[in-house]
């Protein structure tokens, strides 16, 4: 699992490099924009098709741990982001702060949350249910949070609810409606569909960065700014890891449940974040806005892999 995630990050970096050297121009921009819309809708349709309704219902039974993880994801994270912006407003340029605040509004990951919880010998069943529930609710909650947070604390803003409904929610619901008929096929072809999902993200990243490069991305973003973004992301992750551990202890959760809260509550989904950004923001903004998310994703993988191994070896209680 971790090796596959790392290989995907290499593909992401390669895509950014290709877009920097050979950005799409002219008629190619329109073609890639249309392709990105189609592939995003297809990705959310397949997510709906793969998600078992029984798994959703079973996940609702452990409400305490799910509530704790959702509060960490959709309440604690945005508050921390807003707080960091208020305390260090000059640390980053406005587009980078927009990207940091945007990642704070995103749902948790699914694959890495489950993988790290398993390595750490935590409550894997709860991690599966909570991460899945987070991604479902993120379709509704993230646009609302973006509107609330950005209206007061950052430049940029959402593109309205209709793009979210048309490109994300309708395909997801359609997949859920058809799940009894195509769910088995979707589960039998997990590898093919995983390739399709990752291909969708790469197309969106290429399209977004092509637009940003033609608008002078690398002239507007010095290397020192990237270093400060990495610093902000690392600081945010450190705060979240500490607070999720505290939530688990204060809430009186068992060790296995505390591990699930730690690894599900501290993650942010690149797979959901890139498509949502392409729907919520103007094409000229997306490339810059997803940069903090890509950097955070890399940092969270390395930091949580180390933590998971320590929990699994019994070196951390």
> What string of pLDDT tens digits covers the 317 residues of the chain?
445 445 766 787 788 889 888 888 878 888 888 888 888 788 778 877 876 666 556 555 678 899 999 999 999 999 999 999 999 999 998 889 999 999 999 999 877 787 788 888 888 878 877 887 888 888 889 988 998 888 754 444 444 455 656 666 788 788 878 888 888 888 787 777 777 777 877 887 788 778 777 876 666 677 788 899 999 999 999 999 999 999 999 999 999 999 999 999 999 988 788 888 888 888 778 888 888 998 898 788 778 878 888 888 887 77
Place of tokens 């994270």: 77
């Amino acid at each position: 699992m971790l090796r596959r995630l790392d290989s995907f990050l290499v593909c992401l970096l390669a895509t950014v490099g290709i877009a920097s050297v050979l950005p799409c121009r002219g008629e190619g921009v329109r073609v890639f924009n249309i392709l990105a819309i189609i592939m995003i809708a297809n990705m959310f349709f397949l997510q709906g098709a793969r998600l078992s309704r029984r798994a959703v219902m079973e996940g609702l039974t452990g409400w305490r741990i799910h509530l704790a993880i959702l509060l960490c994801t959709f309440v604690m994270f945005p508050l921390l982001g807003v707080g960091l912006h208020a305390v260090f407003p000059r640390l980053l340029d406005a587009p980078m702060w927009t990207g940091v605040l945007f990642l704070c509004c995103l749902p948790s990951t699914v694959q890495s949350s489950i993988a790290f919880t398993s390595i750490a010998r935590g409550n894997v069943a709860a991690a599966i249910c909570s991460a899945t529930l987070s991604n479902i609710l993120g379709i509704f909650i993230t646009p609302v949070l973006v509107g609330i947070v950005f209206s007061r604390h950052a430049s940029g803003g959402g593109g309205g609810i209709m793009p979210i409904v048309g490109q994300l929610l309708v395909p997801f619901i359609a997949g859920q409606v058809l799940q009894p008929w195509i769910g088995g096929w979707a589960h039998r072809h997990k590898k093919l569909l995983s390739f399709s999902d990752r291909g969708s993200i790469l197309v969106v990243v290429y399209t977004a960065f092509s637009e940003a490069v033609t608008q002078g991305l690398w002239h507007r973003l010095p290397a020192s700014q990237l270093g400060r973004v990495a610093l902000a992301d690392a600081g945010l992750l450190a705060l979240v890891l500490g607070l999720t551990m505290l939530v688990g202890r204060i809430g009186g959760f068992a060790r296995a449940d505390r591990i699930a809260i730690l690894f599900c509550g501290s993650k942010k989904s690149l797979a959901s974040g890139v498509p949502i950004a392409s729907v919520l923001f103007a094409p000229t903004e997306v490339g810059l806005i997803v940069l903090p998310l890509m950097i955070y994703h890399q940092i969270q993988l390395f930091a949580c892999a180390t933590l998971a191994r320590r929990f699994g070896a019994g070196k951390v209680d």
